[in-house]
Amino acid sequence: MLSLITLPNPILRKVAEDVKFPVDSNFRKFIKEMFTAMKHYDGIGLAAPQVGKSIQLMVINTPNKPTAFINPVVLKKSWKKSEAEEGCLSVPNVYGMVKRSKKILVSFFNIDGVKHEEWLDGMIARVYQHEVDHLNGILFIDRTKKIIQGKELLAEYLTK
C-alpha cells in the first residue's frame, strides 16, 4: 500500500511537475496503486504528492468509476460559489468550510495522452478543485476561513 504524506511534509507545498507522454508501464501501475490507496484510505480523491510523488496526476472516485486526471487544469470558474465542509487525508482529523466555484471548465489528459475538456459541477467540481490545488502546493486549510473541527490539531501540525 502506498503510504500517505501528511502535514508538515514539504512535498505538499511544491508545485508538481508535468507528466510527459507516452507514459510507461510503471506509470500505469502507479495509477492503479493510487486507485487502491484512495479506496483503502477512504478518500473521494487523491493527488500524487499525497503519496510522495510530485507529479501532475490525481485520481477521483467519480460517480461512474475511479478516474485518473493527468496534467489537469481549471480553465474557467463560475462566479457562483458554494460553501461546504472539506477535509483532507494529508491533514488528518481537521475539517473546515471552503467556498469553491460551483461550475468549472477543466482540461486534462487521460492515460493514453488524449486531451479532454469538459464542464464539471456539484461535488465532482469541488473535489477536482481540491485535488488540483494539491498539485499546486495549496491545501484546503489555506482557503478556509472557518475551521470547524481540529483547530488545535492543525496548530500542532503547523508547528512540527
Amino acid letter for position 1: M
Q: Please say if 131 is a catalytic residue.
A: yes
For Zn ion, the closer CB: 23 or 82? 82
For Zn ion, the closer CB: 46 or 106? 46
- The one catalytic residue among 117, 118, 131, 156: 131
Q: State the nearest-atom distance from the C-beta of 5 to Zn ion, in Å.
A: 11
Residue nearest to Zn ion as judged by C-beta position: 88
Q: State the nearest-atom distance from the C-beta of 117 to Zn ion, in Å.
A: 24
Q: Distances from the Cα of 110 to the Cαs of 31, 96, 105, in angstroms?
A: 11, 31, 16
Write out the residues near Zn ion by the rule CB under 5 A. Answer: 88
Q: State the nearest-atom distance from the C-beta of 114 to Zn ion, in Å.
A: 26
Burial-class residue 106 by CB neighbours within 10 Å (0-12, 13-18, 19+). buried
DSSP 5: P
Question: What is the rounded CA–CA span in Å between residue 14 and residue 43?
Answer: 21
Catalytic positions, written as ranges = 131
